[in-house]
Amino acid sequence: MRRTLLSSGPVLAVSFLALSASRVPPVDIHAEWVKYANRAGDSVTAYLAYPERPDPAPAMIVIHEIFGLSDWIREVTEDLAEAGYVAIAPDLLSRRGGTAAQEDARRAISGLPPDSITVDLDGAFEYLRSLKAVRGDAIGVIGFCWGGGQSFRYATNNPRLRAAVVCYGPAPDLATVGRISAPVLGVYAENDARINANLPDVERAMREAGKTFRHTIYPGTGHGFLRTRNQPSQADRAWQDILAFLKERLGG
């Protein structure tokens, strides 16, 4: 995963090829803004990135943090494309004017009805399946923080998913985990008791339901460590673990 420099000014993304506040993607991927319609007829804005490859690719839905569709989420989407996946990050605030129009994205996202989130994610799933560059039988989901919880919850609502990655997000209603078809990978921070306190219950519920749930707690890390990189070596380790899981479950 490319490094991000954080300052009080614009966010600058550092890659081997570019250093730009406008987040110029690497030359080996193509990234663009798209719109798709969900089944309710609403238009959802999303950031879409393609790898350069001759054959159809597996694909990933990227669910943003509670801060909305940020530059960092765009970077994650591009990183997945670099790894060989078509990746789409829907702006789940699209019905409210989009992330950029919100003075307080956190408050707006906290107020989103779960059913509308599912509808928008279903729209992203069907949009990916409509693309000739995508293998429609190899689509997964990944989410971070609030989006990690939504990734876990979406796995209970879409039996066609082939992989789900939960990055330091809360578990769904444990009574619903029996509906999960996809293997789930959990990425958790050591210094994140708020999220980790329920992990034994999650493990038990998934085991009793006969579901696959692998997870790692990364030492010395805090909530959001893939973005903040408070422990760079652990952030890099976690990202490599994610890519290995996706290759195992979706192919490459």
* pTM (global) more than 0.75: yes
Six token digits for residue 144:
């971070």
Distance CA 235, CA 41 (A): 39
For the beta sheet containing 3-5, the strands, ordered from the edge strand earlier in sequence to the opposite edge, are 3-5, 12-14, 19-20
Q: What is the pLDDT of residue 30?
A: 96
The CA–CA distances, whole Å, from 230 to 72, 78, 155, 160, 217 equal 15, 22, 29, 35, 14
Under 8 Å between Cβ of 57 and 133? yes
Six token digits for residue 111:
């107020």
Query: 26-250: what fold?
Result: Rossmann fold (3.40.50)
Distance CA 67, CA 173 (A): 23
156-175 pLDDT, tens digit per residue, is: 999 999 999 999 999 999 99
The amino acid occupying position 239 is W
Under 8 Å between Cβ of 171 and 149? yes
Q: What is the pLDDT of residue 23?
A: 57
Neighbours of 220 (CB within 10 A): 12
Under 8 Å between Cβ of 226 and 239? yes
Phi/psi for 232 (5° steps) reads -55, -40
pLDDT at 36 over 60: yes
Residues of the chain with pLDDT > 90: what percent? 87
Domain ranges of the chain: 26-250
SS3 (DSSP) at 119: helix
Distance CA 229, CA 25 (A): 21
Neighbours of 128 (CB within 10 A): 24
Q: What is the pLDDT of residue 101?
A: 85
Distance CA 251, CA 164 (A): 14
201-219 pLDDT, tens digit per residue, is: 999 999 999 999 999 999 9
pLDDT band at residue 12 using 50, 70 and 90 as cut-offs? very low
